[in-house]
């Protein structure tokens, strides 16, 4: 039998990642330090308020953005979390989700616009998205460590990569869905590309883009939990500890906390989407 | 139509091929291949094939054809929403095919207003903001554009709806907004792509009439696309009839109906044509006033004056047609002090019977500006047919049919 040499794919990837790490070591270190301080500051700031007050504020925010039902759900859900002694990890998870979502949208929305307007960009970006979304989520944890070290920043990094695709996809979809005759009308009056985008395409794409952001938030939440394995604190950390100590009850408590947080975030973003849609139609 | 008309848009040898290998299609086109053959052989779609025509300043030119005939591709070439593959489009003598992107934007802003079949209003903007769109794009100051938008909305009778959103308006009202949006930028040329086709027949008729009234005041150059012969006849000063990306015939409504250039036009016209079934009796107008043999020149002048006519049919006591009197002749007779109109009585255009098919009326109407009298078997005057009543009658008859079908 002829022996076919094994393709050294893993060696290549390692070499590539090492090179990248060396190249950007200083930059990643700086980013890592700044973000870590920011994350800790945000969590500390939120913890500085007494939990009952924060919970009331969250309920008020829910009422404002999504109506009275969501407000009651938020109040009851968060009080339960407080009661279970999970308020601090919940806040840690929330901060990670918000930061990861912000970064994912800030990068994803412009990429989505680019892919909507340029067929070349579309042909490059969308296969990459397919790749990103089918790759098992755990794999993203591994390169995050050499870049940012164990801890919340590595967690945010892998979460951004995991959660960004829907923000890009639905931005592109939203813009491409704008009816042809509206785009033609904008062109017929002599709009520049930018005017057409800002005055016609983006406003009409906003509901779809918001749906993408909603999905990004949900994915970010699930990834932040998984990222507990590389040192993200929060509810994922609680689950991870429960696994290591084989304490099913504690694991489920933390799991239920994740579900409650997910429901609140989902209703909130849907509420915002409704407001935006009403404001833009 | 005055004879000395200046050309606003001159289209010369315009060809539009959809696809990524237009060269192949152009080659076949030059050999005289038709649209279908070219598509089979090259997978390229011929939208417009070597089309040339003029649009005169201040006229409504209707481009008519069935779906797939290339009329929508053609109108989109005029402002380069479709990039022409070959040919020239001269607007005020300037070839817009050669313009760079920046110049093209300027031309679109300055010269064109466009109205779309499905209105294409921006759903996220109020009516005012929709109408202001073109001005906003040009960087016009907010106060100025608010004022111009209001003027445009007033022109289409939609004052008071400024703060509504498009989905709160009926189809007819939405298309008025579409029209106002195009008028607000005060364009030289209005491009109207099947602008009334999505409206129900009654509203459609109203909109056609209003467009004609508006045009009488504004004197824009209008290129109007339709698949509906009646609409084309009603609106068009001239009609361009298209089939399979090529022009079959260019001419006035009368010319196309009475003298079809090709077998296709004849068939097209015949299918929708009511001229063979419609009779003079159906399209004639009642006479608002007639003169009698016993009338003096002053009386007939007064009758003409009352009805704002410049000629009057004259009948005997039993209403049999005797001839006609023109206003100049009557004035002259008054000045000469004559008491009778016998001396100034002229023969009329050959009278027709109420059963005469409408198609036989085109020739007499084309020859003389005077109305054609309609008389019955006994020679009694029943009414008159003028150019306008003929075309209007045609349009009305077909429209009322379609209303019944729709109901």
A190-194, B84-88, B224-228, B372-376: least confidently modelled range: B372-376
Give B155→chain A minimum CA distance, Å: 20
Nearest residue of chain A to residue B77 (CA atoms): A188
Please give the pLDDT value at position B400.
41
Q: What confidence category does residue B138 fall into, taking pLDDT thresholds of 50, 70 and 90?
A: very high
Q: Is residue A13 part of a domain?
A: no
**Which tokens hold the place of A36?**
């870590």
Q: For residues A244 and A206, is the Cβ–Cβ distance under 8 A?
A: no
Q: Which superfamily, per CATH, for B280-393?
A: CBS-domain (3.10.580.10)
Please give the pLDDT value at position A209.
93
Nearest residue of chain B to residue A202 (CA atoms): B124
What residues have CB less than 8 Å from A184, skipping those under 6 apart? B76, B81, B114, B116, B120
Please give the pLDDT value at position B294.
85
**What mean pLDDT is predicted for residues B175-202?**
91
CA dihedral B214, B288, B325, B345 (to 10 degrees): 150
Q: Could B133 and A189 be called an inter-chain contact, meaning their C-beta atoms sit closer than 8 Å?
A: yes
Asked if the model's pLDDT at residue B137 lies above 90, the reply is yes
Q: Could B109 and A189 be called an inter-chain contact, meaning their C-beta atoms sit closer than 8 Å?
A: yes
Chosen from B72, B120, B126 to mutate, greatest number of chain A CBs within 10 A:
B120
Strands of B92-220, DSSP E: 94-95, 112-115, 189-193
Q: Which CATH class for the B7-272 domain?
A: alpha beta
* CA atoms of A56 and B198, how far apart (whole Å): 54
Q: For residues B127 and B153, is the Cβ–Cβ distance under 8 A?
A: yes
CB pairs under 8 A between A and B: 61
Highest mean pLDDT among B137-141, B154-158, B331-335, B373-377: B137-141
Give A178→chain B minimum CA distance, Å: 10
Name the average pLDDT for chain B. 85
What residues have CB less than 8 Å from A281, skipping those under 6 apart? B123, B124, B165, B167
Q: What is the CATH number of the domain that holds A145?
A: 1.10.3720.10
Q: Please give the angle made by the CA atoms of B188, B190 and B192, to the nearest 5 degrees.
A: 170
Nearest residue of chain B to residue A195 (CA atoms): B137
Q: Is residue A2 part of a domain?
A: no
Q: What are phi and psi of B64, to 5 degrees?
A: -120, 145
Question: Who among B116, B124, B191 is closest to A281 (CB)?
Answer: B124
Chain A residues with CB under 8 Å of B137 CB are: 189-192, 195, 199
Region of A179 please: left (phi>0), alpha (psi -120 to 50) or beta: beta
Asked if the model's pLDDT at residue A197 lies above 90, the reply is yes
- Helical (H) or strand (E) element with B240: strand B238-243
**What mean pLDDT is predicted for residues A111-125?**
95
Q: Is residue A5 part of a domain?
A: no
Question: Who among A187, A188, A200 is closest to B122 (CB)?
Answer: A200
Q: For residues A115 and A126, is the Cβ–Cβ distance under 8 A?
A: yes
* CA atoms of B64 and B58, how far apart (whole Å): 19
Q: For residues B334 and B297, is the Cβ–Cβ distance under 8 A?
A: yes
B48-62, B110-124, B278-292: least confidently modelled range: B278-292
From the list B308, B307, B310, B339, the residue with the least C-alpha distance to B324 is B310
Q: Could B116 and A203 be called an inter-chain contact, meaning their C-beta atoms sit closer than 8 Å?
A: no
Please give the pLDDT value at position A190.
93
Q: Are strands B60-64 and B221-226 parallel, antiparallel or unpaired?
A: parallel
| Domain tally, chain A | 1
* CA atoms of B77 and A30, how far apart (whole Å): 55
Please give the pLDDT value at position A201.
95
Highest mean pLDDT among A22-26, B1-5, B105-109, B275-279: B105-109
**Which tokens hold the place of B153?**
């909305």
Give A67→chain B minimum CA distance, Å: 24
A30-75: pLDDT as tens digits: 888 888 888 888 888 888 889 999 999 999 999 998 889 999 999 9
Neighbours of A197 (CB within 10 A): 18
Looking at B31-94, list the stretches that DSSP marks H as alpha helix, in order from N- to C-terminal side. 35-42, 71-78
Q: Is B159 exposed, middle or buried (0-12, 13-18, 19+ CB in 10 A)?
A: exposed
**What mean pLDDT is predicted for residues B208-213?**
89
Q: Could A199 and B109 be called an inter-chain contact, meaning their C-beta atoms sit closer than 8 Å?
A: no
Chain A residues with CB under 8 Å of B109 CB are: 189-190
Question: Who among B109, B118, B124 is closest to A204 (CB)?
Answer: B124
Nearest residue of chain A to residue B193 (CA atoms): A181
Q: For residues A160 and A103, is the Cβ–Cβ distance under 8 A?
A: yes
Nearest residue of chain B to residue A280 (CA atoms): B124
Q: For residues A125 and A114, is the Cβ–Cβ distance under 8 A?
A: yes
Q: Are strands B246-251 and B238-243 parallel, antiparallel or unpaired?
A: antiparallel
Residues in chain A: 281
What one-character-per-residue DSSP string does A104-138 give?
A: HHHHHHHHHHHHHH-HHHHHHHHHHHHHHHHS-GG
Please give the pLDDT value at position B308.
78
Q: What confidence category does residue B2 fall into, taking pLDDT thresholds of 50, 70 and 90?
A: very low
Give A129→chain B minimum CA distance, Å: 28
Q: What are phi and psi of B284, to 5 degrees?
A: -70, 155
Q: Is residue A194 part of a domain?
A: yes
Name the average pLDDT for chain A. 90
Q: Please give the angle made by the CA atoms of B310, B315 and B319, to the nearest 5 degrees.
A: 135
**Residue ranges of domains in chain B:** 7-272, 280-393
Asked if the model's pLDDT at residue B168 lies above 50, the reply is yes
**How far from each other are the two terminal CA atoms of chain A, in whole angstroms?**
70
Q: Is residue A12 part of a domain?
A: no
**Which tokens hold the place of A194?**
């930018």
* CA atoms of A99 and B347, how far apart (whole Å): 94
Region of B368 please: left (phi>0), alpha (psi -120 to 50) or beta: beta
Q: What confidence category does residue B401 fall into, taking pLDDT thresholds of 50, 70 and 90?
A: very low
Chosen from A185, A186, A196 to mutate, greatest number of chain B CBs within 10 A:
A185
- Helical (H) or strand (E) element with B238: strand B238-243
Q: Could A188 and B124 be called an inter-chain contact, meaning their C-beta atoms sit closer than 8 Å?
A: no
Q: Could A189 and B185 be called an inter-chain contact, meaning their C-beta atoms sit closer than 8 Å?
A: yes
Q: Could A189 and B108 be called an inter-chain contact, meaning their C-beta atoms sit closer than 8 Å?
A: yes
Helix (H, G, I), strand (E, B) or coil at B9: strand
Q: What are phi and psi of B321, to 5 degrees?
A: -65, 130
Q: CA B118, B122, B128, B134 torsion: positive or negative?
A: negative
* CA atoms of B141 and B131, how far apart (whole Å): 14
Q: Could B133 and A281 be called an inter-chain contact, meaning their C-beta atoms sit closer than 8 Å?
A: no
Q: Could A188 and B136 be called an inter-chain contact, meaning their C-beta atoms sit closer than 8 Å?
A: no
Looking at chain A, list the stretches that DSSP marks H as alpha helix, in order from N- to C-terminal side. 9-48, 51-66, 68-83, 87-117, 119-134, 141-148, 152-176, 180-188, 193-196, 202-226, 235-245, 248-280
Q: Domain range spanning residue A86?
A: 22-280
Q: Could B109 and A190 be called an inter-chain contact, meaning their C-beta atoms sit closer than 8 Å?
A: yes
- Residues in chain A whose beta carbon is closer than 8 A to a beta carbon of chain B? 179, 181-182, 184-192, 195, 199-200, 203-204, 280-281
Q: Could A190 and B105 be called an inter-chain contact, meaning their C-beta atoms sit closer than 8 Å?
A: yes
**Which tokens hold the place of B318?**
């039993």
Give B162→chain A minimum CA distance, Å: 15
Chain A residues with CB under 8 Å of B191 CB are: 188
Please give the pLDDT value at position A167.
95
Please give the pLDDT value at position B193.
93
Question: Who among A179, A181, A192 is closest to B105 (CB)?
Answer: A192
**What mean pLDDT is predicted for residues B121-140?**
94
Q: Could B137 and A203 be called an inter-chain contact, meaning their C-beta atoms sit closer than 8 Å?
A: no
Q: Could B112 and A280 be called an inter-chain contact, meaning their C-beta atoms sit closer than 8 Å?
A: no
Q: Could A199 and B117 be called an inter-chain contact, meaning their C-beta atoms sit closer than 8 Å?
A: no
**Which tokens hold the place of B35?**
């649209």
Region of B112 please: left (phi>0), alpha (psi -120 to 50) or beta: beta
Asked if the model's pLDDT at residue B281 lies above 80, the reply is no
Q: Could A190 and B108 be called an inter-chain contact, meaning their C-beta atoms sit closer than 8 Å?
A: yes
- Check residues A235 and B364 and name the one with the higher pLDDT: A235
Q: What confidence category does residue B229 fall into, taking pLDDT thresholds of 50, 70 and 90?
A: confident
Please give the pLDDT value at position A6.
86
Q: Is residue A8 part of a domain?
A: no
Q: Could A189 and B114 be called an inter-chain contact, meaning their C-beta atoms sit closer than 8 Å?
A: yes
Q: Could A203 and B124 be called an inter-chain contact, meaning their C-beta atoms sit closer than 8 Å?
A: yes
Helix (H, G, I), strand (E, B) or coil at A147: helix
Q: For residues B204 and B193, is the Cβ–Cβ distance under 8 A?
A: no
Q: What confidence category does residue B406 fall into, taking pLDDT thresholds of 50, 70 and 90?
A: very low
Asked if the model's pLDDT at residue B36 lies above 80, the reply is yes
Q: Could A191 and B137 be called an inter-chain contact, meaning their C-beta atoms sit closer than 8 Å?
A: yes
Q: What confidence category does residue B271 fall into, taking pLDDT thresholds of 50, 70 and 90?
A: low
Please give the pLDDT value at position A171.
96
What one-character-per-residue DSSP string does B296-332 give?
A: -HHHHHHHHHHHT-SEEEEE-TT-BEEEEEEHHHHHH
Distance (Å) of CA A78 to CA A221, B201, B393: 16, 60, 75
* CA atoms of B186 and B188, how far apart (whole Å): 7
- Residues in chain B whose beta carbon is closer than 8 A to a beta carbon of chain A? 76, 79, 81, 105-109, 112-114, 116-118, 120, 122-124, 133-134, 136-138, 165, 167, 185, 191
Please give the pLDDT value at position B1.
45
What one-character-per-residue DSSP string does A228-256 give?
A: GGGT--SHHHHHHHHHHHT-HHHHHHHHH
**What mean pLDDT is predicted for residues B300-308?**
84
Q: For residues B88 and B252, is the Cβ–Cβ distance under 8 A?
A: no
Q: What confidence category does residue A258 fall into, taking pLDDT thresholds of 50, 70 and 90?
A: very high
Q: Is residue A17 part of a domain?
A: no
**What mean pLDDT is predicted for residues B30-48?**
88
Q: Is residue A4 part of a domain?
A: no
* CA atoms of B213 and A190, how far apart (whole Å): 28
Q: Is B243 exposed, middle or buried (0-12, 13-18, 19+ CB in 10 A)?
A: buried
Asked if the model's pLDDT at residue B273 lies above 70, the reply is no
């Amino acid at each position: 039998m002829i022996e076919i040499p094994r393709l050294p794919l893993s060696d290549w990837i390692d070499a590539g990642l090492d090179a990248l790490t060396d190249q950007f070591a200083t930059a990643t270190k700086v980013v890592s330090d700044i973000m870590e301080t920011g994350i800790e500051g945000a969590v500390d700031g939120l913890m500085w308020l007494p939990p009952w007050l924060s919970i009331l504020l969250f309920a008020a925010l829910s009422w404002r953005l999504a109506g009275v039902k969501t407000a009651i759900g938020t109040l009851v859900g968060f009080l339960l979390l407080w009661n279970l002694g999970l308020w601090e990890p919940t806040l840690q998870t929330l901060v990670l989700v918000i930061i990861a979502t912000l970064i994912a949208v800030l990068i994803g929305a412009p990429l989505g616009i680019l892919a909507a307007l340029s067929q070349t960009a579309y042909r490059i970006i969308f296969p990459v998205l397919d790749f990103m979304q089918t790759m098992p989520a755990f794999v993203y944890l591994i390169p995050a460590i050499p870049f940012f070290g164990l801890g919340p920043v590595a967690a945010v990094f892998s979460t951004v990569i995991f959660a960004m695709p829907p923000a890009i996809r639905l931005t592109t979809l939203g813009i491409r869905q704008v009816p042809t005759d509206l785009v033609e009308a904008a062109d017929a009056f002599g709009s520049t590309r930018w005017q057409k985008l800002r005055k016609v395409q983006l406003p009409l794409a906003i509901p779809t883009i918001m749906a993408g952001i909603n999905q990004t938030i949900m994915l970010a939440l699930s990834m932040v939990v998984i990222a507990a394995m590389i040192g993200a604190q929060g509810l994922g950390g609680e689950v991870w500890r429960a696994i290591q100590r084989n304490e099913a009850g504690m694991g489920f408590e933390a799991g239920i906390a994740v579900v409650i947080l997910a429901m609140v975030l989902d209703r909130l973003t849907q509420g915002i989407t409704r407001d935006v849609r009403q404001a833009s139609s | 139509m005055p004879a000395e008309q200046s050309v606003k848009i001159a289209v010369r040898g315009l060809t539009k091929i959809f696809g990524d290998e237009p060269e192949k299609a152009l080659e076949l086109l030059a050999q005289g291949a038709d649209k279908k053959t070219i598509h089979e052989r090259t997978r390229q779609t011929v939208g417009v094939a070597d089309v040339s025509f003029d649009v005169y300043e201040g006229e409504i030119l209707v481009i008519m054809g069935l779906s797939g005939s290339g009329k929508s591709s053609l109108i989109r070439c005029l402002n380069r929403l479709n990039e022409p593959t070959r040919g020239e489009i001269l607007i005020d003598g300037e070839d817009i095919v050669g313009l760079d992107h920046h110049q093209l934007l300027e031309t679109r802003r300055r010269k064109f207003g466009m109205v779309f079949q499905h209105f294409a209003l921006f759903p996220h903007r109020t009516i005012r903001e929709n109408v202001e769109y073109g001005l906003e794009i040009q960087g016009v100051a907010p106060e100025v554009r608010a004022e111009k938008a209001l003027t445009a909305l007033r022109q289409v009778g939609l004052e008071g709806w400024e703060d509504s959103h498009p989905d709160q308006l009926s189809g007819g009202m939405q298309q008025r907004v579409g029209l106002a949006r195009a008028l607000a930028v005060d364009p030289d040329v209005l491009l109207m792509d099947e602008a009334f086709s999505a409206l129900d027949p009654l509203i459609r008729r109203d909109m056609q009439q209003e467009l004609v009234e508006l045009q009488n005041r504004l004197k824009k150059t209008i290129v109007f696309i339709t698949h509906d012969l009646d609409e084309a006849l009603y609106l068009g000063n001239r009609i361009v009839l298209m089939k399979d990306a090529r022009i079959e015939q260019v001419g006035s409504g009368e010319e196309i109906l009475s003298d079809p250039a090709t077998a296709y036009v004849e068939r097209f016209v015949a299918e929708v044509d009511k001229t063979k079934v419609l009779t003079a009796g159906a399209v004639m107008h009642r006479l608002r006033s007639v003169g009698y043999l016993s009338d003096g020149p002053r009386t007939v002048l007064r009758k003409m004056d009352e009805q704002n006519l410049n000629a009057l049919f004259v009948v005997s006591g039993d209403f049999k047609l005797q001839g006609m009197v023109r206003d100049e002749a009557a004035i002259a007779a008054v000045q000469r002090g004559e008491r009778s109109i016998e001396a100034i009585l002229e023969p009329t255009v050959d009278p027709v019977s109420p059963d005469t098919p409408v198609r036989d009326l085109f020739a007499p109407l084309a020859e003389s500006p005077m109305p054609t009298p309609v008389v019955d078997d006994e020679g009694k005057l029943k009414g008159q047919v003028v150019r306008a009543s003929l075309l209007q009658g045609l349009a009305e008859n077909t429209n009322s049919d379609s209303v019944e079908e729709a109901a």
